[in-house]
């Protein structure tokens, strides 16, 4: 039994951050019912590859159809939360917006995830992760000195600033319902989440410790020699994060570094020291550096691909991955001492649970037959 067992979440089918949020909630034991479109021209891959769809149930509905909408509101009536990722105003136009749903179920938590937020001058504009982190100030801070900003994969905006804040907001709102009996809307905007993630930079920059105008010159943005990525002899990479003085001293000891490395915080020497360490780390292979520095307090790790990461002994020791129908995927996180979830189950086919869900809602076999004949469900 997971920590969220007993909660029912309705997920309006989408892509990216919303489905990952649904996966996280279902991983922790919530019953997540995904409402898929009843008719789609998009080619459908094997659902086993839809990792974010794991543990969920699927019902196909055309939410522009009255009968489908009646089914939808029956689902909403005893649901705890709904999550959706449409552009602001879309669900209102469909007649399934927050007011419509809260009228049916006043305790419902209505979770909404967008890039720009539900209001503001850009709220109706299209965008992607790169745009949201650009406007929020994160993209400007990523990359080497005197180069254009480096494009990270879409973890920062979509998933850290989006998915995680939606999941956090939904869970917080569910706790509020348990105390107040009243549902509410959660507006999870990626620009808001990313701005929150940047709190440390606001602190450091305003205290004079961080130069926000010059990326790649600061203590942990690639400007320092002791918080850096280095290439190895075999054209692989390693990471060093010896921030604290005691860890930096250990790094010096392990690498037999000379007096020119003694003053860790002499910023004027950082470029020169980075150059020296670049040459040093190219003298051995990644595995040779692993043998010397891994399992020490240097704060070291090899830079691995996702395929390499799952084979690392530490990952294996913690059973971080599971294979479902030969598809390798991460295990649920975080871990709980008393309410760990069951092993994940592969994603359903579109509409796989139509009949099961309809019967649970009180519809009869005759009703379901009629729905099929009228193509309300497939």
Q: Which of 7, 52, 61 is nearest to 30 (CA)?
A: 7
Find how far residue 70's CA is from the centre of its chain.
32
Measured between alpha carbons, how far is 373 from 378 in angstroms, rounded to an integer? Answer: 9
Neighbours of 18 (CB within 10 A): 27
Supply φ then ψ for residue 134, to 5 degrees. -65, -50
Give the single-character DSSP code of 338.
S
Taking every pair of Cα atoms in the chain, the longest distance, rounded to a whole number of angstroms, is: 85
- Give me the catalytic one of 100, 128, 297, 312: 128
Cα 130 to Cα 48, 136, 195, 227, 271, distances in angstroms = 29, 10, 14, 25, 29
128 as an active site residue: the answer is yes
Q: Which residue out of 27, 36, 129, 158 is catalytically annotated?
A: 158
Helices and strands in the chain, H and E counts:
15, 11
Q: How far apart are CA 211 and CA 266, in angstroms?
A: 15
Given a contact cutoff of 8 angstroms between Cβ atoms, the answer to whether 36 and 350 are in contact is yes
Question: Nearest Cα to 233, choosing from 299, 288, 275?
Answer: 288
In the block, residue with structure tokens 């075999």: 234
Q: Is 39 a catalytic residue?
A: no
Spell out the residues 6+ positions from residue 351 whose beta carbon is closer than 8 angstroms to its own. 36, 38, 58, 59, 60, 377, 378
Q: What is the rounded radius of gyration, in angstroms, for the C-alpha atoms of the chain? A: 25
Residues 91 and 95: their CA atoms lie apart, in Å, by 6
Q: Which residues pair with 231 in a beta bridge?
A: 237
The set of catalytic residues is 128, 158
């Amino acid at each position: 039994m997971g920590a969220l067992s007993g909660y029912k979440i309705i997920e309006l089918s989408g892509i990216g951050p919303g489905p990952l949020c649904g996966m996280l909630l279902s991983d922790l034991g919530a019953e997540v019912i995904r409402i898929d479109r009843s008719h789609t021209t998009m080619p459908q891959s094997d659902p086993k590859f839809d990792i974010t769809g794991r543990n969920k149930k699927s019902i196909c509905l055309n939410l522009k159809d009255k009968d489908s909408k009646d089914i939808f509101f029956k689902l909403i009536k005893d649901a705890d939360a709904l999550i959706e990722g449409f552009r602001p105003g879309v669900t209102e136009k469909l007649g399934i917006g927050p007011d419509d749903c809260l009228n049916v179920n006043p305790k419902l938590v209505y979770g909404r995830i967008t890039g720009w937020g539900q209001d503001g001058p850009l709220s109706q504009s299209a965008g992607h992760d790169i745009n949201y982190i650009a406007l929020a100030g994160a993209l400007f801070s990523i990359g080497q000195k005197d180069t254009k900003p480096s494009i990270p994969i879409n973890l920062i905006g979509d998933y850290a600033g989006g998915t995680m804040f939606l999941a956090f907001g939904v869970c917080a709102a569910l706790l509020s319902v348990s105390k107040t009996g009243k549902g509410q809307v959660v507006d999870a905007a990626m620009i808001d989440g990313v701005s929150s993630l940047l709190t440390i930079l606001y602190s450091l920059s305003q205290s004079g410790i961080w130069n926000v105008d010059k990326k790649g010159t600061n203590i942990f943005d690639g400007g320092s020699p002791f918080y850096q990525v280095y290439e190895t002899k075999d054209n692989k990479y390693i990471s060093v994060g010896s921030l604290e003085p005691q860890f930096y001293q250990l790094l010096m000891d392990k690498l037999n570094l000379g007096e020119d490395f003694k003053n860790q915080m002499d910023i004027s020497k950082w470029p020169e020291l980075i150059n020296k360490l670049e040459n040093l780390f190219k003298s051995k292979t990644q595995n040779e550096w692993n043998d010397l520095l891994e399992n020490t307090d240097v704060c070291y790790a090899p830079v691995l691909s996702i395929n390499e990461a799952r084979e690392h002994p530490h990952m294996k020791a913690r059973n971080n991955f599971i294979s479902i129908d030969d598809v390798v995927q991460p295990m649920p996180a975080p871990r709980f001492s008393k309410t760990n979830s069951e092993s994940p189950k592969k994603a359903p086919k579109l509409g796989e649970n139509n009949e099961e869900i309809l019967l649970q809602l009180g519809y009869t076999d005759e009703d379901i037959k009629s729905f099929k004949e009228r193509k309300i469900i497939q």
